[in-house]
Chains A and B, each alone.
Chain A
Amino acid sequence: MDSNAIFQILINEIRSIIPELEDHPIARGDAMADLGVNSMERGDILVSTLEAIELEVPMTQLFGPRNLGELADLIHAKSAQQ
C-alpha cells in the first residue's frame, strides 16, 4: 500500500467522522485542523486509519506531520518498517 492509498483511507475516515466534509475537496497539503477537525476527531481518524491498514504503532510516533500528505507518508514509512 503506497502513501496515496493511505491518503485515500485518511480522507474516507475524515468524511465518515465529519459528514459535512463529504463534498469538500481534500488535498495532500491540507491540515485536518484547517478543515475544522478538532483534536479528539483527529485522534479518532488516526486510530481508524491504523485499524484499516492493520498497523500497530504507538500513536505518539505519528506526531509531527503538518498536513495529510506528510501524515500519509509517515504512516507509509512506519508500515514499511513492519
Chain B
Amino acid sequence: MSDNIGIEAMNLYGGRASLDVHALCKYRGLEVARFENLLMDEKTIALPYEDPVSFAANAAKPLIDQMSKEDKSRIEMVICCTESGIDFGKSISTYVHDLLSLPSNCRLFEIKQACYSGAAGLQMAVNFLLSGTSPGAKVLVITTDISRFALDDIEAVQEWAYSEPTSGAGAVAMIVSDTPHIFSIDPGAYGNHAFEVMDTCRPGPDTEAGDADLSLMAYLDCCNGAYKDYARRVEGADFRESFGYLCFHTPFGGMVKGAHRHLMRKLYKADMAVIDADFERRLTPSIAYGKHLGNTAGGSIFVALAGTLDTVELTEPVRVGLFSYGSGCCSEFFSGVITPHGQKVLKAMNIAEHLQQRYKLSIDQYEMLLKGEHTLRFGTRDAVFDHDIIEGLVPEGGANNWLVLDSVNSYHRTYRWV
C-alpha cells in the first residue's frame, strides 16, 4: 500500500458566460472604492440550461477523455461535493457517472457541508485509498456549485448588497489516486475546527440567507482553530516557514486577506508591512482564478490551488497549506506538495484560456437572466430549455465538448453535448 496519495489530475470548469462585477457594482450603486478591497473582477454566470450536473460533467470530461480504458476502469468512487443539490435523494454523482460512461462497480454519492464539501470529499477519497482496501483504485471527486439570484422580489437587490457580485459558480474535477502528479497530500497532516453556528445557509431550494458579520467571525475563528489543531498534530509546523504557498477558501479575495492578516497577527504579532508582503508572495497566486469566477463554494480551495499552480514559478517541490471553511460550520487546515511536473500536467488543461473565452454578458442580458423566467427551479417536473436565450452561445454543429441541459421529463434530467 502506497502512502503517496493525492490529486493525479485536475480540471476547472468556470462556465461559458461571465459578468464584469465592477460594472455590476456601479449599476447597483454599490461603493466601488470599497468593492476594490474584495479583490474581484468577474463572476461566472450559470446559464438557464446549465445546472450542477452539467457543470460537474464539463469539469470532468477532459480528465476522463485523456485516461486509458484500463485507468478509467479503476474509478471506483464518484463523490460530488455540493451545496447546490438538485434532489433530496438521488445524487448528482449518478448523473455524472452515466454522462461519463464510468464502470458500474462504483460507489456513487454526494457530500454536503456548505463550502467545506470539497475538502470533505478529497479527504474521503484519500482515506479510502490510504486504507488499502482496493489497491490501485481511483476516485473521481467533483465539487460543483452554482449560486442563482432571482429577481422575484425587486426589494431583494438591496439585501443582496455585496453578496450578489461575489457569488459565483464553478466546478473542479479531480482524479484522486496513488499517482498524485498535481498534489501529493501529507498523510495525517490536518487540523479541524467545527461548531454549530447559523452564519449562512440555504434554507430553501432557491434561497440563500446569512449574516455577513457572523460568517466573517466564524471564518476567522475556524482559520485560527483549524491551524492550531494542524500544528498540534504536525511536529515542527510553522505557519510562516512550513508552506511555500497558501490556498484559503475564497468567498472573495478580501476575506482571504483578512483571515491571513488575523492569523499573522495572532501567531506572530507581525506588522502590516510584513503581512502585506507575505500575502503578496504566498496568497496572491491563489486568487488568480477565483477573482474571475466569484465564490465557487465547495471548490474554492481547489480553484485557489489551480490558480497557484498555473501562475507561480516552481523549480522544486513546494509544500502548500490549504484552509477550507464551510458555513454552519466545519473547517480544515491540511497540506500537500506541488511540483514543477504537476504544473505541466495542469497547464495542459488550458484553464486560463477557457476562462478568457467566456461570453461577456452585458448588464441587460444579466438582468434578463436574473428575472428567472427561464430558471429551472428545484423540484420541477417537466421542462424544455431555450438554448438561444443568449444568441450564438450554443453553436450549431459545435465540437460536442459542452454539456447542456436538454429537458426534464417526470423529474428526470436529460443532457446533450453541443
Smallest distance from the beta carbon of B255 to chain A beta carbons, Å? 7
Residues in chain B near residue A43, CB distance under 8 A: 213, 216-217, 220, 258
Residues in chain B near residue A40, CB distance under 8 A: 37-38, 216, 254-255, 258
Residues in chain B near residue A81, CB distance under 8 A: none
Q: Are the CB atoms of A59 and B220 closer together than 8 Å? A: yes
Q: Are the CB atoms of B221 and A58 closer together than 8 Å? A: yes
Residues in chain B near residue A47, CB distance under 8 A: 220, 262, 265
Q: Are the CB atoms of A44 and B213 closer together than 8 Å? A: no
For B, the interface residue count at a CB cutoff of 8 angstroms equals 21
A43 CA to B254 CA, complexed, in Å: 12
Contact with B along A29-54 (1 / 0, CB 8 A): 00000000011101110110001000
A58 CA to B214 CA, complexed, in Å: 11
Q: Are the CB atoms of B213 and A42 closer together than 8 Å? A: yes
Of residues 173 to 216 in B, which have CB atoms within 8 Å of A's CB atoms?
195, 197, 211-214, 216
Residues in chain A near residue B255, CB distance under 8 A: 40
Residues in chain B near residue A58, CB distance under 8 A: 217, 221
Residues in chain A near residue B80, CB distance under 8 A: none
Question: Which residue on chain B has the smallest CB distance to residue A42?
Answer: B213
Given contacts A38-B34, A39-B212, A47-B265, contact A63 B258 (CB under 8 A): no
Q: Are the CB atoms of B34 and A63 closer together than 8 Å? A: no
| A62 close to B (CB within 8 Å) | yes
Residues in chain B near residue A82, CB distance under 8 A: none
Residues in chain B near residue A38, CB distance under 8 A: 34, 162
A58 CA to B196 CA, complexed, in Å: 13
Task: Report, as a range, how many residues of chain A touch the other chain.
Answer: 10 to 19
A71 CA to B67 CA, complexed, in Å: 57
Question: Which residue on chain A has the smallest CB distance to residue B329?
Answer: A60
Residues in chain A near residue B258, CB distance under 8 A: 40, 43-44
Q: Are the CB atoms of B217 and A62 closer together than 8 Å? A: yes
Question: Which residue on chain B has the smallest CB distance to residue A36?
Answer: B31
Question: Which residue on chain A has the smallest CB distance to residue B38?
Answer: A40
Question: Which residue on chain A has the smallest CB distance to residue B35?
Answer: A38
Residue from B162, B220, B255 having most chain A Cβ neighbours under 10 A: B220
Q: Are the CB atoms of B217 and A59 closer together than 8 Å? A: yes
Smallest distance from the beta carbon of A64 to chain B beta carbons, Å? 9
| B218 close to A (CB within 8 Å) | yes
Given contacts A40-B37, A43-B258, contact A63 B217 (CB under 8 A): yes
Residues in chain A near residue B212, CB distance under 8 A: 39
Give 5 A-B pairs besides A60-B214, A60-B221 with Cβ atoms closer than 8 angstroms. Answer: A40-B258, A43-B213, A43-B216, A43-B258, A63-B213
**B→A interface (CB under 8 Å):** 34, 37-38, 162, 195, 197, 211-214, 216-218, 220-221, 254-255, 258, 261-262, 265
**A→B interface (CB under 8 Å):** 38-40, 42-44, 46-47, 51, 58-60, 62-63
20 A-B contact pairs sorted by A residue (CB < 8 Å): A38-B162, A39-B162, A39-B212, A39-B213, A39-B216, A40-B258, A42-B213, A43-B213, A43-B220, A44-B261, A47-B262, A51-B265, A59-B216, A59-B221, A60-B197, A60-B218, A60-B221, A63-B211, A63-B213, A63-B214
